[in-house]
Amino acid sequence: MSYWQFLAFFLVLPLSGLLWWARHWLNRRFLIHLVYLVVISLIFTIPMDNFAISQGIWSFNLERTWRVTMFRIPVEEYFFYVLWIAMSSLLTLICWHGFGLSYTEGQSEDAK
């Protein structure tokens, strides 16, 4: 199995289902926060992965990737970062609404 097939099966398919499930709760504020989370995760994980690869802590089988790397990291790993953050954020949103909480601007009535 290639890395891309792994991403499609374990992240893209579940993410598609979560997007459908959470479609009524997606709003501009959530999407802006999602972009912030992705950027922050990339800022921290790119140097960490690059260091780990350079030290031989872990590696990627280039036969199972597109053989395109940025900073020693296969391009699929960047897709993994983005898809994983999106999936975990959607799961959080779904659980948030499942507990009857609201993801809206301002304070709740209880906090006022």
Query: What would the pLDDT profile of 55-85 be if each residue is shown by its tens digit?
Result: 999 999 999 999 999 999 999 999 999 999 9
What pLDDT is recorded for position 99? 74
Residue 24 lies inside a defined structural domain of this protein: yes
User: Domain for residue 75, yes or no?
Assistant: yes
**Is 109 part of a structural domain of the chain?**
no
Partners of residue 70 on adjacent β-strands: 73
**Closest-CA residue to 8 (of 67, 70, 76):** 76
39 in a structural domain: yes
| In a domain? residue 70 | yes
What does 61-93 look like in DSSP terms, one character per residue? -GGGS-S-EETTEEHHHHHHHHHHHHHHHHHHH
- Domain span holding position 19: 3-100
pTM of the model as a whole: 0.80
Task: Check pLDDT > 90 for residue 108.
Answer: no
Q: Looking at the 3D structure of the chain, how many domains does it have?
A: 1
